[in-house]
A and B are shown apart, each in its own frame.
Chain A
Amino acid sequence: MYNKGTIIPGLIIFIALVTFPVWFNGMTTAGDLPKPDLPPNGEKQCVMPVDYMRANHMQLLNEWRDNVLRDGNREILEIGGKKYPKGLQMACMECHSNKEKFCDSCHTYAAVDPYCWDCHLTPADVKSKEATH
């Protein structure tokens, strides 16, 4: 083989670069599946089964939003004896109170940036400016 000295190191560098995502994810924690924190208050039940929520919580939130704002349907849901007013702040974040450890863990992994919290408040936001009266 001619030019063995350049071709073989070149190939090695090429393969290393091409497989970079594989070994980088393997060596660091960047590729680990996210483990969102369960509700700190120990709540085990949600408005829908876990599988459904994992896949479709965004549709459910949009549905609630349209119910409340556009259709005037603010009916409070009662599931398993617990009452859920339709709302991100009023229902979801009552249990999933830590946005960083719950919502963000998957959203960051999936590289999605929902704009919910541009307006909606997390319990931490509320705590930062608690009503004094």
Chain B
Amino acid sequence: MDKARRTFLKIAGASVVAGMAAPAVVKLTATPALASGHAAPAAHAPAADAHGGGHAEEAPTGVRLGMVIDTRKLSAKDGLLDEAIAACVAAHNIPQFPEKKGEIKWIWKAPFENVFTDHSVHHGSKKVTGEDFPVLCNHCDDPPCCKACPTQATFKVEASGIVAMDFHRCIGCRFCMAACPYGARSFNWQDPRPYVKSFNPEFPTRMKGVVEKCNFCGERLALGQEPACVEACKGTGAIVFGDLNDPKSEIRAVLDKEFTIQRKPTLGTKPSVFYIV
């Protein structure tokens, strides 16, 4: 064997071994266990706690508006739900199309099996099988619609927890409608104006090509009023509205006392609308 070739093969072999070993060595020496630096152990402690804490939720911060719908009280009075829906329709210039296709929904009625898909209706009570339940945007704590929106036309208002819409920015791509697991969003397939029964001068209509949904009456809250549906049920206690993060609020008192359910809790969106069935 040629001497030069022999040297070349030796060097090449050594280089390959060194090249493979080097990253491992660097990785080993860079870990805090082996590093000679003074990596503060305190910095790692909270992270370890969080993992050890299992399913504990983060401590709530700020205002998070929510709603408890007491369907017992709601169905106790005939037509109360219809009144609440009518109040919303009037307040937000919601069009009423003659056909169901393409309808615009902010708060609407649906049967139990469609509302609570996680619950079985097998041998369900008369209430569960026979009655309609009110549904609206859940104003999720972790809203999937906002993640889907490419223009940030829908976003979470940090000050109130409301999932809001900025119709000016909506480009009508309908990603949010695909993302929302509750079907709480509607698309304007046509100009809604001719189908609005009466105009509320304080609120705009929408135009063809934008998505809309319940806004928890952000414009009314700013004036110190309750949401339209809550106001329509005033005195009955059928819908309780308030700050879920305030332990002294009326809504928390109801939540502490009653057994409530949420829509599709398994999805992890953390809905802010609770139901008493």
Residues in chain A within 8 A of chain B (CB atoms): 65, 69-70, 72, 74, 87, 89-90, 115, 118-121, 123, 125-126, 128-133
Contact = CB atoms under 8 A, between A and B. Distances in A.
Interface residues of B, number: 26
Contacts of B202: 87, 89-90
Contacts of B200: 131
A74 B167 CA distance: 17
Task: Give the interface SS of chain B, mostly helix, strand, loop or mixed.
Answer: loop
B207 interface: yes
Contact of B166 (A69, A74, A89): A69
Given A119-B206, A120-B204, A121-B204, A69 B164 contact: yes
Interface of B: 90, 93, 155, 157, 159-160, 164, 166-168, 193, 196-207, 218-219, 222
18 contacts: A70-B155, A72-B160, A72-B218, A74-B222, A115-B207, A118-B207, A119-B205, A119-B207, A121-B204, A121-B205, A123-B201, A125-B193, A129-B196, A129-B198, A130-B198, A131-B198, A132-B198, A133-B198
Nearest to A90: B202
B199 A129 contact: yes
A6 to B, nearest CB: 56
Contacts, number: 51
A125 B191 CA distance: 14
A119 B199 contact: no
B225 to A, nearest CB: 12
A130 B200 CA distance: 8
A58 to B, nearest CB: 13
B205 to A, nearest CB: 5
B127 to A, nearest CB: 31
Contacts of A89: 201-204
Contacts of A87: 202
B90 A131 contact: yes
A65 B168 contact: yes
Contacts of A133: 90, 198
Contacts of B198: 129-133
Nearest to A62: B168
A65 B168 CA distance: 9
B273 to A, nearest CB: 20
Contacts of B155: 70
